[in-house]
Chains A and B, each alone.
Chain A
Amino acid sequence: MTQQAAAPKIRVRNLSVGYDGNLVQERVSFDVKAGSIFAIMGVSGTGKSTILRAMIGLLRPSAGDICFDDVNYWSLSDAKREEGGRRFGMLFQGAALWSSMSAAENVGLPLQMFTKLPAASIDALVQVKLSLVGLDSGRDSMPSTLSGGMRQRVGLARALSLDPEILFLDEPSAGLDPISSKRFDDLICELRDGFGVTVVMVSHELPSLFGICDDGVFLDAKTKTAIGHGAPQSLRDHCEDPTVHAFMTRGIPAGEAAKPAEAAATTGATDGGP
C-alpha cells in the first residue's frame, strides 16, 4: 500500500459520546494516519471503548464527526454505513467468538455472508487466516474449548476475514500472560507491515503501548476529553500533564499524592512517581 502522506485515514473531530445523555467524553479530536498503529489510552472507565464503539458504528455519537477517507461515517444512511463497516475488522475484548460455531466457521461466516465464493475457496481462505495467527491445528475446536490466547487469535483471524483496511482492537492483550501478549503484539505488527492495515487499539498495557504503537491519544476522565496526542513513548518522555505522566510511568498523579501514613507504609510502590 502506498503511503498517503497528507490525508489521514481516520479523522475524528469534536466527538462527544455517552449513554442516555451522560457524556463520557466530549469534544475529542484526533487523526489516524494510514498504516499506523494508533492507541486510544486512558485510565479505566474513561470511555475508551465507548469512543471505539462510535468509530465502528455500534453507538451513535452525541455530537461531532468521524470521517474515514474524508467520508463522514455517521451522516451515511444505515445501509451505506453497514456496507462501509465491512472495511473494518474488529477484535472485541475477550474475542466475542460466536459460541455455537467452530473456530473455522467463525472465521468463515463473514466470507460466506458477503462473498459469492464457493465453499472450497472459503475453506482455503479460512485455513490461511488461521495459519497467519498461528492456529493451523485448532480449526474445528469450539470456542469454549480454546484458551484465552487462542480465542484472541481466532478473534483476530475473524477480524481479518474480509481483508479489512482498518483493524480495531479492544484491549487485545487483556487477560493474556506476558509471553502470549508479546507474541500477539508481534503478530499485529506483522499484519500491519504485511497487509498495510491501519490499526486502532484501546489499551492500557504499557509494554504493548511502548512496543508497537506509533501514535495515539490520551483520554482523561476528569476533563472528559483528550489531554495528550502522540506516540506513547513521546507522551512518556515529553508530556507534562501529571495524569499522562503518571499513567506512562506507572505512578500516582501529583494531585492524588499518597496520604502520609500510606506513603510511609508503601514506599517502594511509588518509585518513579511524580
Chain B
Amino acid sequence: MSAPPSGPGWSTRIHDDDLVLVLNQDWTQTDFQASDLDTTQALLTERKWNTIRFDSSGMRLWGSSLLVFLSALRRVAKRQQIRFDESALPAPARALLGLIPDVVPAMTTPTAKVGRIERIGVSVLDAWAETLSTMTLIGEIVLRTGAALRGRTRMRASDLMTAMTNAGVAALPVVALVNILVGGIIAFVGALELRRFGADIYIANLVGFAEVREMAPIMTAIVMSGRTGSAYAAEIATMQGTEELDALRVIGISVDEYLVLPRVTALSFMMPLLNLYAAAIGILGGFLVAILMLHISAQTFMEQVRSAVGLTEIAYAILKSIAFGAWIGIVSCRIGLRAGRSSSDVGHAATTASVAGIVGVIVLDALFAICANSLNI
C-alpha cells in the first residue's frame, strides 16, 4: 500500500477498511486551505471504506476551519455511504458540527420569470401611479395654501419661519459665491468677443441682461436644489425610517400640511428674493471685472445695465424663480415621502431629489423660454 496521504494539520492511518484521520497541530482560520477539501474528498472516493474515524489527541487549537473540513468530509461520507464516526472528536466540536446541516440548502431564489412586455407594463403603471400621486400632492398643496391664506391652517408659524431661514438667510453665502463668479465669467467671455468689434461697453448690457433673465434664476435654483432640495428629501426619508411620519399620521396630523406645505411655501417665497439678490451680486461680479480689467468706467457700466434691464425682465425672472422654488420643494418632499425605510434609501432619496430638482429646473426654464419667445417678452 502506498504512503497514506496527508495535508497541513492532518494525516491518515488505515485499519483494514477503516480510514483514521489524525488531526494534529492547530486548526485556525488563518491557515485554512480550501484545497485540503479536494484531497480528502478524493481519498474518500478512491476506494470503498467502511468507517471514517478520527484521532484528535494531537490537536490543540481549533476553530471554524475544522468545522468546514469536517462537515465537507461528512457530506462526502454520507454520499459514499461510509459510516462517519465522530466519537473521538472533542465534544464541543461534535456539538457544533451537529448544528451544520448535511445537505447544503439550495438558495431559495424566487425567480418568477417576468417577460419584457410585462416589465414595460409594470413600469408604465408605476409611472402613471407616481404621476397621479405627485399631482395629488400638488393639488393638496394648492388647496392647503388657499386655506392657509384664509387663515385656516394647521401649519405652524414657527415651522414656516424655520424653513424660511434655512431656505433663505442660510443660503445667502453660497448663492453669492456662485453668482459673483458667474457674473465675472460672463464679463470675461463677453469681453473676448466684443473687444474685437470695439464694443467693450456692451459688456454691461450682456452681464445685466444675462444675469437678470437667465443666469441668476437658474444658478440659484441649481444651488438650492442641491442644498435645500436634497436636505428636504433626506430629512423626510429619515423620518419615514424612524416611524416619525407614522406617528404624525396616527394622531391625524396631515403630513402634507405639516411637513410639505411649510417647506414648499418657504422655498417658493424665498426663491424670488434669493434670485433678486443673486442677480445683483452677479452684476457686481461683472462690474468688478469690467472696471478692474476692461477699464470701463463705473458710471458708464451702470448706465448700460439700466438700459439693458427693464422691469419686464425682472418680473419674468421673479415668476420663473417662484416656479423653480415650488418645483424643487414639491419634488424633493415627494421623493422623501416615497422613500423606503433603510439608511441607503435616505441617501438614494437625497441624490434623486437633487438630480430631479436640477433637471426639472432646466426643463422648466426651457419651457419658460419658449413661452417668453412666443409672447415676445
- Interface set of A (CB-CB < 8 Å, partner B): 53, 56-58, 82-83, 85-86, 88, 90, 92-94, 96-99, 109-110, 112-114, 158, 162, 259-262, 264-266
- A233 to B246: give the CA distance in the assembly, Å: 32
> Is the pair A99, B242 in contact by a Cβ cutoff of 8 Å?
yes
Nearest opposing residue in chain A for B257, CB measure: A113
Closest 6 CB pairs of A and B: A261-B98, A265-B95, A96-B243, A82-B252, A96-B247, A92-B243
Contact of A92 among B94, B154, B247, B252 (CB under 8 A): B247
> Is the pair B97, A261 in contact by a Cβ cutoff of 8 Å?
yes
Contact of A265 among B92, B154, B242 (CB under 8 A): B92
Q: Which residues of B contact A113 (CB under 8 A)?
A: 154, 251, 253
- A94 to B241: give the CA distance in the assembly, Å: 11
A194 to chain B, nearest CB (A): 21
B321 to chain A, nearest CB (A): 27
Interface string of B82-107 (1 = CB under 8 A from A): 00000000011011111100000000
B223 to chain A, nearest CB (A): 23
> Is the pair A94, B95 in contact by a Cβ cutoff of 8 Å?
no
A109 to chain B, nearest CB (A): 8
- A216 to B317: give the CA distance in the assembly, Å: 64
B249 contacts partner chain A, Cβ-Cβ < 8 Å:
yes
A-B contact pairs, 21 of them (CB 8 A): A56-B250, A57-B249, A58-B249, A85-B250, A86-B251, A90-B250, A97-B247, A98-B239, A98-B247, A99-B238, A110-B251, A110-B253, A113-B253, A114-B251, A158-B247, A264-B98, A265-B91, A265-B92, A265-B95, A265-B96, A265-B98
> Is the pair A96, B92 in contact by a Cβ cutoff of 8 Å?
no
Nearest opposing residue in chain A for B96, CB measure: A265
- Interface set of B (CB-CB < 8 Å, partner A): 91-92, 94-99, 154, 156, 238-239, 242-244, 246-253
- A97 to B246: give the CA distance in the assembly, Å: 11
Q: Which residues of B contact A57 (CB under 8 A)?
A: 249-250
- A265 to B246: give the CA distance in the assembly, Å: 45
> Is the pair A99, B98 in contact by a Cβ cutoff of 8 Å?
no
- A114 to B251: give the CA distance in the assembly, Å: 9
B126 to chain A, nearest CB (A): 13
- A158 to B253: give the CA distance in the assembly, Å: 14
- A96 to B244: give the CA distance in the assembly, Å: 5
> Is the pair A112, B98 in contact by a Cβ cutoff of 8 Å?
no
Q: Which residues of B contact A97 (CB under 8 A)?
A: 244, 247
B153 to chain A, nearest CB (A): 11
**Is the contact region of chain B dominated by helix, strand, or loop, or is it mixed?**
helix
Q: Which residues of A contact B248 (CB under 8 A)?
A: 98
Q: Which residues of A contact B92 (CB under 8 A)?
A: 265
- A86 to B251: give the CA distance in the assembly, Å: 5
Q: Which residues of B contact A259 (CB under 8 A)?
A: 98-99
B119 to chain A, nearest CB (A): 17
> Is the pair A90, B247 in contact by a Cβ cutoff of 8 Å?
yes
Contact of A58 among B97, B239, B246 (CB under 8 A): B246
> Is the pair A92, B246 in contact by a Cβ cutoff of 8 Å?
yes
> Is the pair B249, A262 in contact by a Cβ cutoff of 8 Å?
no
- A98 to B251: give the CA distance in the assembly, Å: 13
Nearest opposing residue in chain A for B158, CB measure: A105
- A98 to B94: give the CA distance in the assembly, Å: 51
Q: Which residues of A contact B95 (CB under 8 A)?
A: 261-262, 264-266
Q: Which residues of A contact B91 (CB under 8 A)?
A: 265
B70 to chain A, nearest CB (A): 12
- A265 to B97: give the CA distance in the assembly, Å: 10
> Is the pair B250, A58 in contact by a Cβ cutoff of 8 Å?
yes
- A56 to B250: give the CA distance in the assembly, Å: 7
B265 to chain A, nearest CB (A): 17
Q: Which residues of B contact A265 (CB under 8 A)?
A: 91-92, 94-96, 98
Q: Which residues of B contact A114 (CB under 8 A)?
A: 251-252
Contact of B251 among A53, A85, A260 (CB under 8 A): A85
> Is the pair A96, B252 in contact by a Cβ cutoff of 8 Å?
no
B273 to chain A, nearest CB (A): 24
B168 to chain A, nearest CB (A): 18
Given known A-B contacts A97-B244, A99-B242, A83 and B98 have beta carbons under 8 A apart: no
Q: Which residues of B contact A94 (CB under 8 A)?
A: 242-243
Contact of B242 among A53, A96, A109, A158 (CB under 8 A): A96
- A83 to B253: give the CA distance in the assembly, Å: 10
Q: Which residues of A contact B247 (CB under 8 A)?
A: 90, 92, 96-98, 158
A236 to chain B, nearest CB (A): 29
Q: Which of A92, A162, A260 has the most CB of B within 10 A?
A: A92
- A94 to B239: give the CA distance in the assembly, Å: 13
Nearest opposing residue in chain A for B258, CB measure: A113
Q: Which of B242, B246, B249, B250 has the most CB of A within 10 A?
A: B250
- A112 to B156: give the CA distance in the assembly, Å: 9
Nearest opposing residue in chain B for A261, CB measure: B98
Q: Which residues of B contact A56 (CB under 8 A)?
A: 250
Given contacts A112-B156, A262-B95, 20 further A-B contacts (CB under 8 A): A53-B246, A58-B246, A58-B249, A82-B252, A85-B250, A86-B251, A88-B250, A90-B247, A96-B242, A98-B239, A99-B242, A110-B251, A113-B154, A113-B251, A259-B99, A261-B94, A261-B95, A262-B98, A265-B96, A265-B98
- A88 to B252: give the CA distance in the assembly, Å: 10
Q: Which residues of B contact A58 (CB under 8 A)?
A: 246, 249-250
